[in-house]
Amino acid sequence: MELVLATGNRDKQREMKAFLQDLRVTIRTLDEFPAAPVVVEDGETCWSNAGKKAREIARFTGLLTLADDTGLEVDALGGRPGVYAARYAGAHASYEDNCRKLLDELTGVPADQRGARFLTVVAISDSSSSVEFVEGVLQGRIADRCSGMHGFGYDPVFIIPELGKTLAELTLDQKNQISHRGQALAKAKDVLKRILGRNIGA
C-alpha cells in the first residue's frame, strides 16, 4: 500500500517518515509527483487547510494521502500568529524571519505572560475524498531568544517548561515523543493501521 505525504516541506517529511517508518506502507512524497497541484492554504483553521491538502492530493494521485497543518497560538498576542504561523513575517518568510518577528512583538513581555501552544491537525484522505482528522496540542511558552540547533520553524523559541529546553534543543526522537506533530501522527498511525487492516482483510 502507498501513502503520499502532502507536504513539500522537507523538514516535515523527515519527521513524518521517522514516525511512520514501521508501517507496512510505501511512503511517497510530493517530489515524486511534479505535476501535482499547488494547494492554496486559504482556510481559516488548521482543519480546513489540512483537509483541503489531503483531499486534493488524494484525488490527483489516486492514493491514500496524509496532510497536516500547524498553528502557533501565543497568549500575549491574542492567539496570533495562529494558522498563519508559517507565513507570519510574509509569504516567503524564512524560519528565522518568523522567529525574529515573534520575538520582536514580545519584547518586554515577562516570562509568565508568554504562554503559547502548538496545534497540529492531520488529515487522511483517499481518492473518494473521505477524510479523517486527528490533532495534537503542545503547551509551552515563548523564549526571549533562539536556542538550539535541531528542529525547524519556531522550535528554537518554543520552550517546554517541564524540560527547561526549547524544541530545538531536543533530538528528533525526543521531539517526536512529546510534540504536537508527534501526538497527531501517533493518532494518525492508528487510523492508518485500521485502514491497512481493512484493505488486507479485503
pLDDT at 199: 63
- Other beta carbons within 10 angstroms of residue 43's beta carbon come to 15
Confirm if 123 and 132 have CB atoms less than 8 A apart.
Answer: yes
Tens-digit pLDDT string for the chain (202 aa): 899 999 988 989 998 998 898 898 999 999 999 999 999 999 999 999 999 999 999 999 999 999 999 999 999 999 999 999 999 999 889 999 999 999 999 999 999 999 999 999 999 999 888 999 999 999 999 999 999 999 899 999 999 999 999 999 999 889 988 999 999 999 999 999 998 887 644 4
CA distance 64 to 122: 13
pLDDT at 200: 46
Name the amino acid, one letter, at 135. E
Q: pTM, whole model, 2 decimals? A: 0.90
80-86, long-range: CB < 8 A, 24+ apart: 83/43, 83/44, 83/45, 83/46, 83/49, 85/153, 85/154, 86/153
pLDDT at 128: 87
Distant-in-sequence, close-in-space partners of 15: CB < 8 Å, separation ≥ 6: 172, 175, 176, 181, 182, 185
CA distance 39 to 193: 27
Grid coordinates belonging to 82: 495562529
CA distance 6 to 36: 10
Spell out where 6-125 has E strands.
Answer: 26-29, 64-74, 81-82, 115-125
Q: What positions carry a catalytic annotation? A: 69
pLDDT at 24: 87
pLDDT at 92: 87
Within its chain, how far is the Cα of 47 from the centroid? Answer: 12
HSE of 41, CA atoms in CB hemisphere, 13 A: 22
pLDDT at 1: 87
